[in-house]
Structure 1
Amino acid sequence: MTRTNLMIGAIGAVAVTALGLNIATLSASIEEPVVAADLPAPPVDGALGDIDRETLQAEMRRYLLENPDIIVEVIDVLEAQRTANAQLAEQQMLRETNDVLLNDGYSFVGGNPDGDVTLVEFLDYQCTFCKRAHDEVAALLSSDGNIRLIVKELPILGPVSETATRAALSVLAEQGEEIYEVFNDQMMSFPGQLNDEMIDRLAERSGADVAAMRANMDSREIDAQIAQNRALAEQLQITGTPTFVLGDTFIRGYLPADQMAEAVRLTRSTMR
């Protein structure tokens, strides 16, 4: 929700409150709070009773012009409430998906597998910001040896992205984590657009058996892994890459290594 929408909502909230007040109350000082339970019942069927509509509107306008800070206060409350509600909703989503998010049995696990903090990354090999984040994540893992990294392959940028994902998952399943990690780095570090020929070349450069990789790319196992990652992303309302999950917090988009390190520090502080 934009701040403009919040302002409209705030004005509406003040207006609704004002409709339940008489003119004398509206003229009172802003320091005199009005308790909702003490307000008279709202008008029925839009009727204003003895209060003239034009007089009420003019009084409301005067009141807001004389006390503009009340709009800012209401906006701040609404923003804080919206943020808190969003955080609670995200935490609930993560609780519901915890097992498949952290222990699906097929995703690459890097960094320190026994680290005290887990960072989950949803990525696409064609994503420019994923490529930027790749070096930042590497720097973070290098500077902090107590982070467990889980990579979730999420091809969302077309057929080439899916081919690259299938190649990566095939290498991981059949040829092991060490070759996968090099292959992942090669594709993420490649500066241009990937295609079938380049994917094979980067796989070979990584030490992978390209023929074996190709033989397994369209298997039911790989189909199921991609489908599960997509279903998980949908459940977590992830619509773009890179998206990170750190503890019970989402980091949606690219973040420099120093800011990610600060996020890790804050996550650890909540675990104590």
Structure 2
Amino acid sequence: MKKTLILATTLLMGSLNIQAQSLDDQQKQEVRELVRKTLVENPDILVEAMNELRKREIAAQQNAEKQMLEARQKQLFENPENPIMGNPEASVTIAYFGDYNCGFCKRQDPILKKIVEENPDVKIVIKELPVLGPESREAAEMALATFKLDKDKYLSVNQRLMSRPGRHTSNSIKAALIAEGVDSDKLKVDESVTRQLEENLRLAQELGIRGTPALVFPNEVLRGYTEEGVLKEKIKQRL
């Protein structure tokens, strides 16, 4: 708030200084004194300027986000190396950035599963985003390696990893794979897995996603945990 107030004042003074460039030094000083007096006597002017500046900042952020989304549609929603949840032919697509060690993702995941089960017009593109340490990275690598080896087993592995309370260890990750009938010795974390994780991290940075979960529609980014009712309304608006 303080920074915004200072910036608003600076912009206001700067604008007046530009307009006063044709004045002599005495006239410029008189203008400055008049501005100072006006602001002191009418502080609401600064509040209005601050509010207007904030509106412009928000509009600029939204415009930048819109442009980035338009430029990244294929990477977000049409990458065949990304696993999906739900009907592949659904009309509404959401990209889901999650981490297996994220507590809020463990709450978000069942909501997404329920939504795609209830609504064949929705599909979720899963974007593994391991940002919470080496075990997050290991879990994401094993999940994607499972997808490459046997696509049919990916979702069960994904959901088992996500449903475990607390943080993962290498042992818990291996146990999840064994429980779903996946031989971890046959899994290969190759260049395509690494490339996909790096692309997911880059997309998240470009979209201003600082953590998980995050849900991305073709024209909107929802950062953080999203309540079921809110998400259903967002989907309804797009059907």
Shorter-chain TM-score tier? 0.7 to 0.9
Residue 183 of structure 1: CA displacement?
Answer: 0.8
Label 1:45 to 1:244 Cα distance change in 2 as closer, same or farther (>3 A).
farther
Residue 54 of structure 1: CA displacement?
Answer: 7.6
Query: Is there any run of 5+ residues in structure 1 with no aligned partner, and where?
Result: 21-39
Equivalent residue number for residue 224 of structure 2: 253
Equivalent residue number for residue 28 of structure 1: none
2:180 pairs with one of 206, 210, 214: 206
Letter in 1 for 2:88: P
CA deviation string 1:227-268 (max 9, x = no partner): 222233333333311122112111111111111112223344
* Identity of matched residues, %: 26
2:143 pairs with one of 153, 168, 181: 168
Question: Equivalent residues in 2 for 1:86-125 (5 A)?
Answer: 86-125=61-100
Residue 81 of structure 1: CA displacement?
Answer: 1.9
What SS is found at the alignment partner of 1:231?
helix
Letter in 2 for 1:74: A
CA deviation string 1:20-60 (max 9, x = no partner): 6xxxxxxxxxxxxxxxxxxx932369935275478425522
What SS is found at the alignment partner of 2:21?
coil
2:19 pairs with one of 16, 41, 50: 41
Equivalent residue number for residue 11 of structure 1: 9
Pair member with larger Rg: 1
Could you state the TM-score of these two structures normalised by the residue count of structure 1? 0.78
Query: Counterparts of 1:71 and 1:57 in 2: how far apart (Å)?
Result: 11
RMSD over aligned CA atoms reads: 2.5
CA deviation string 1:183-207 (max 9, x = no partner): 1111111002211111111112123
Letter in 1 for 2:25: A
Residue 209 of structure 1: CA displacement?
Answer: 2.8
1:142 pairs with one of 117, 122, 125: 117
Question: Equivalent residues in 2 for 1:254-269 (5 A)?
Answer: 254-268=225-239
Label 1:10 to 1:224 Cα distance change in 2 as closer, same or farther (>3 A).
closer
Are 2:77 and 2:94, in contact at CA under 8 Å, matched by a contact in 1?
Answer: no
Are 2:20 and 2:28, in contact at CA under 8 Å, matched by a contact in 1?
Answer: no
What SS is found at the alignment partner of 1:260?
helix
Equivalent residue number for residue 152 of structure 1: 127
Label 1:54 to 1:111 Cα distance change in 2 as closer, same or farther (>3 A).
closer
Query: Counterparts of 1:171 and 1:261 in 2: how far apart (Å)?
Result: 30
Equivalent residue number for residue 27 of structure 1: none
Residue 155 of structure 1: CA displacement?
Answer: 1.3
Letter in 2 for 1:56: L
Query: Is there any run of 5+ residues in structure 2 with no aligned partner, and where?
Result: none
Equivalent residue number for residue 132 of structure 1: 107
Count the aligned residue pairs: 239
Are 1:246 and 1:264, in contact at CA under 8 Å, matched by a contact in 2?
Answer: no
What SS is found at the alignment partner of 1:104?
coil
What SS is found at the alignment partner of 1:101?
helix
Alignment of 1:77 onto 2:52: yes
Query: Counterparts of 1:11 and 1:54 in 2: how far apart (Å)?
Result: 12
Equivalent residue number for residue 235 of structure 1: 206
